Structure 1
């Protein structure tokens, strides 16, 4: 390992693989820089994770995507690029400032015609949704204490065979330690307890390491 820490090794590995598999991208770089310049927290998905979301949405032929948690629109851009010409994406964002930055980033990427930002509490937005057609793909990456609320609504809104991804569910491996009274950890635990007896989805957690550290995502398919 030399003088590199474990986290530095993970980040170096991501960057090395990305150098072969993910070309430099002006629109995504703009989105990152503009988000940082506007003081948004640096908690967007990594480049490799964004590419994974894009490939996954393409692999299932997604035409309608729902995202919970826009931030600066980095993952939104990756997902919207997976859509066909007549595809559409609805993304939910609480913060007006975040939504404003995301609109600029999405427009700069040439995707404003495919993306609608619903501003306000995501739980309220989701509960009011009565789409004419169900969604094919849902990506949940918002406030973790509301994971279960978002998941239950996503399950209602996604088609049978559709995919729901919930981000940040491994959280450095701390979720099993129930002596840790942390709202984000408990948000993951509540979701897992619910899923144990849920017969409407089939799911697994995939842990990940990389430039975002040690975390993971939950991958669910609506039955």
Structure 2
């Protein structure tokens, strides 16, 4: 790790220790990430707190999440929706879903976290076809090449006033390279272009540095 990256991590640790913290359930969920199919890629504690606060600020009671892994972000979001709220988390791998369900149980939020196993586009389309009650908040944090499709489905599953967060949109700066051969970069670029072209949406995106290196996220609000 370079000196610069070390400084980024030091600052993140300071901010988390000072303002956020992790209780035992969150710490256990983070540790259990090592047993998933993609260890260590969950959001950081300060990012988890941000998701929780954004959901609370709009009074979200129904949340949909693309990408569960160990359920770390799902726990933050489940705490945001409160008793009677719902977090529908779409996860490809049963291995990860089982870990996430156990973590939700440990955190005392299993009654409001529904982990749906299967390809996210298939699971989300099933919700659309079933006429699911609209969601107030969406967090897209799955395979980046499919982000445009996930965004399209989210727009069918939300309502005016809903907020959508897309994670990992900067990709270490690669998102600025229109000629990138990385399908994940191109997936993010296409999704951001789709957002920009949609008059029903307003959005911004921010770069971040920290424990996860150089990346960032987009925040989108449905205005109609």
Which range, TM-score by smaller chain?
Answer: over 0.9
TM-score (ref. length: structure 2): 0.94
Q: Distance in 2 between matches of 1:8 and 1:21?
A: 20
What is the TM-score normalised by the length of structure 1? 0.94
Instruction: State the alpha-carbon separation in 2 of the partners of residues 134 and 39 from structure 1.
Output: 30
- Structure 2, unmatched stretches of 5+, are none
Distance in 2, matches of 1:141 and 1:170, equals 13
Give the structure 1 partner of residue 194 of structure 2: 194
Q: Where does the alignment leave 5 or more consecutive residues of structure 1 unmatched?
A: none
1:147 aligns with 2:124: no
TM-superposed CA distance for 1:193, in Å, is 2.1
Given that residues 69 and 97 in structure 2 are in contact (C-alpha distance below 8 angstroms), is that contact kept between their aligned partners in structure 1?
yes
Hey, what's the Cα distance between the residues in 2 that align with 1:59 and 1:154? 20
Count of paired positions = 221
2:15 corresponding residue in structure 1: 17
**SS state of the match for residue 169, structure 1?**
coil
Q: Distance in 1 between matches of 2:154 and 2:19?
A: 31
1:76 aligned onto 2:74 = yes
How do residues 146-185 of structure 1 correspond to structure 2 at under 5 angstroms? 146-185=146-185
Distance in 1, matches of 2:55 and 2:77, equals: 7
Return the alpha-carbon distance in structure 2 between the equivalents of residues 192 and 213 of structure 1.
Answer: 21
User: Structure 1's 88 and 95: CA in aligned 2 closer, same or farther, altered over 3 A?
Assistant: same
Compute the displacement of 1:21 (Å): 0.8
State which drifts further: 32-41 or 116-125. 32-41
More helix by percentage: 2
Aligned to 2:113: 115
Residue-by-residue CA offset, 1:170-217 (whole Å, 9 max, x unaligned): 111111213320011011111122223111211111111111111111
Across the aligned residues of Structure 1 and Structure 2, the Cα RMSD in angstroms comes to: 1.5
